[in-house]
Amino acid sequence: MKVQGSVAFVTGANRGLGEQFVRALFDAGAAKVYAGSRDPKRVTVPGAIPVAVDITDHESVHAAADQAQDVTLLINNAGLSTRADVLTADLDSFRLEFETHVLGTLAMSRAFAPVLRRNGGGAVVNVLSVLSWISITASAGYAAAKAAEWSVTNALRVALAEQGTQVTALHVSYLSTELAAKVTAPKSDPAAVARATLDGVEAGLHEVLADDFSKQVQAALAVGPKALYPQLAGRPALI
């Protein structure tokens, strides 16, 4: 998959990592970039084509796919965080997390799969998280949804391989964006993460691990809960 000359569609493109994806795509030579947002008036990157899309609304998703029939690269970036605690949060917060990250990503991927097939295969990028692999009690809803989105991504990778569509997952910890504005832990530069992800797409990577913490957590998966959750043994938590 070559980014230069590609036609991309980015969800959640009006701010944060999504906006940086739009900029990185143009910098890498993309021929056209559709910038999806629930409010297209908030898309500000020069040259981007604003598209109204709410990934939790299937009619909106299909309308976006109908408008962007020349897409060769789909970047499923749109997301949110309700900060749903595992014991006390309203279950509707969990439902919203799943509707957005799991079903929304799946809906976009399904709607654009035929488009990508007709245009030669192309690629899909799903923006996941290090919380796909490790959970925290204070954002259990987000982590659970990202874990499920990771599973859906793996299924899509296998299913779409038959039509020549590459699926790349991005795993990253905190980013210097509005979503993590109150976080005091180290954060990655979203512009650098966007560039690294596109490099990963061109390299044919199944997964892009954008920071050292994501690499540490992925390695701990092979060890088990005692490595992922040292607090169970009275040691400081990883996150």
Pairing of strands 207-209, 73-76: unpaired
Residue 45: count other Cβ atoms within 10 Å of its Cβ: 20
CA 5 to chain centre: 22
Calpha distance 49→36 (Å, rounded): 8
Catalytic-labelled residue, pool 34, 142, 174, 229: 142
Half-sphere exposure of 150 (CA within 13 A, CB side): 19
Phi then psi for 56, rounded to 5 degrees? -90, 0
Calpha distance 178→18 (Å, rounded): 12
**Is 142 an active-site residue?**
yes
Q: Which residue numbers are catalytic? A: 142
